[in-house]
């Protein structure tokens, strides 16, 4: 395989999804009682753990600031104080404010649902502090669009599996485009797929992979040799 070449295919994507789902079960993402709570969560979880984002969401909820109207109307300093547990609270408060103003300026999330995916993505990316990963999480979990979130867990996994090589390892758009072109699935599929890849990255295929416990090793070109979780022989390097 030449640098940048991809071995991603619909069959492989579906195999990966099925294998992870079978092992980890449904992840029930993204938690939140309202579309705006999900939207706020995608910003608060940037560069921190979910439990810290949750603390910030709880503070916003208790203060009555878990609506776009409330965030847009209140002083940004008040939002900063409430979301301190999520870290980077100054930047995140401004991002929350920008996205809230975008929502209120367009008469709410329900009104925005009629827009095309490309248009929504462009508008999200135009906001300070919203990159491709956050934009795609918003598209997937708030607007229920079938997009692949090619975050660091996904890029590492696809690279280790031997399905995506070269500069594409660090290229968000290359992997996202490759996966979306390869498989024609709905938002429900991509919702679960992303959550499962994160679960796998956190528990097994992290910075130091635990290949001997991995249910993907039979298909993985980076697997450590040795007996695997299912009795398949390791594929070696
Ligand atoms: S076999 Fe190892 S490198 Fe391959 S996906 Fe599993 S944990 Fe990651």
User: Using one digit for the tens of pLDDT, what is the confidence trace for 170-222?
Assistant: 789 999 999 999 999 999 999 999 999 999 999 999 999 999 999 999 999 99
Q: Answer yes or no: is pLDDT of 16 > 80.
A: yes
Q: Answer yes or no: is pLDDT of 129 > 80.
A: yes
> Do residues 43 and 137 lie in contact, with contact meaning Cβ atoms separated by under 8 Å?
no
95 touches ligand 1 (CB under 6 Å): no
Architecture of the domain spanning 35-141 = Orthogonal Bundle (1.10)
What confidence score (pLDDT) does residue 5 get? 66
> Do residues 54 and 84 lie in contact, with contact meaning Cβ atoms separated by under 8 Å?
no
6 has which bridge partners?
164
Q: Answer yes or no: is pLDDT of 4 > 80.
A: no
Q: What is the whole-number distance in angstroms between the Cα of residue 23 and the centre of ligand 1?
A: 14
> Do residues 154 and 175 lie in contact, with contact meaning Cβ atoms separated by under 8 Å?
yes
160 touches ligand 1 (CB under 6 Å): yes
What confidence score (pLDDT) does residue 231 get? 43
16 touches ligand 1 (CB under 6 Å): no
Residue 97 to residue 129: CA distance in whole angstroms: 12
Ligand 1 pocket test, pick from 223, 226, 232, 234 with the greatest ligand atom count within 8 Å of Cβ, gives 223
What confidence score (pLDDT) does residue 68 get? 97
Q: Answer yes or no: is pLDDT of 126 > 80.
A: yes
- pLDDT over 90 percentage in the chain: 86
Using pLDDT thresholds of 50, 70 and 90, give the confidence band for residue 224. Answer: confident
Mean per-residue pLDDT of the chain: 92
User: Using one digit for the tens of pLDDT, what is the confidence trace for 65-104?
Assistant: 999 999 999 999 999 999 999 999 999 999 999 999 999 9
Residue with tokens 């867990």: 153
Fold of 10-27+149-219: Endonuclease Iii, domain 2 (1.10.1670)
Q: Answer yes or no: is pLDDT of 235 > 50.
A: no
What confidence score (pLDDT) does residue 236 get? 35
Break the chain into its structural domains and give their ranges.
10-27+149-219, 35-141
Average pLDDT over residues 33-61: 97
Using pLDDT thresholds of 50, 70 and 90, give the confidence band for residue 52. Answer: very high
209 touches ligand 1 (CB under 6 Å): yes
Residue 217 to residue 195: CA distance in whole angstroms: 19
Q: In this structure, what token pair is assigned to residue 11?
A: 């069959």
Residue with tokens 């069959």: 11
Domains 10-27+149-219 and 35-141 share a fold: no
Residue with tokens 């135009």: 126
Ligand 1 pocket test, pick from 216, 224, 226, 236 with the greatest ligand atom count within 8 Å of Cβ, gives 216
Q: Answer yes or no: is pLDDT of 6 > 90.
A: no
């Amino acid at each position: 395989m030449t640098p940048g070449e991809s071995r991603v295919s619909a069959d492989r994507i579906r195999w990966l999804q099925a294998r992870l789902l079978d092992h980890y079960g449904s992840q029930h993402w993204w938690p939140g009682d309202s579309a705006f709570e999900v939207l706020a969560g995608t910003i608060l979880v940037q560069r921190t753990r979910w439990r810290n984002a949750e603390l910030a969401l709880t503070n916003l909820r208790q203060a009555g600031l878990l609506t776009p109207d409330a965030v847009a109307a209140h002083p940004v300093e008040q939002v900063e104080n409430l979301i301190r547990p999520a870290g980077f609270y100054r930047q995140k408060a401004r991002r929350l404010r920008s996205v809230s103003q975008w929502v209120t300026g367009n008469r709410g999330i329900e009104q925005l649902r009629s827009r095309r995916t490309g248009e929504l993505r462009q508008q999200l990316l135009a906001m300070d502090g919203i990159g491709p990963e956050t934009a795609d999480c918003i598209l997937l979990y708030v607007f229920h669009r079938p997009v692949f979130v090619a975050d660091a867990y996904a890029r590492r996994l696809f690279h280790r599996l031997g399905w995506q090589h070269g500069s594409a390892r660090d290229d968000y758009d290359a992997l996202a485009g490759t996966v979306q072109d390869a498989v024609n699935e709905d938002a429900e599929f991509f919702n679960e797929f992303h959550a499962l890849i994160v679960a796998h990255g956190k528990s097994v295929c992290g910075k130091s992979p635990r290949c001997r416990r991995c249910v993907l090793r039979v298909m993985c070109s980076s697997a450590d040799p040795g007996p695997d979780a299912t009795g398949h022989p390791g594929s070696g390097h």
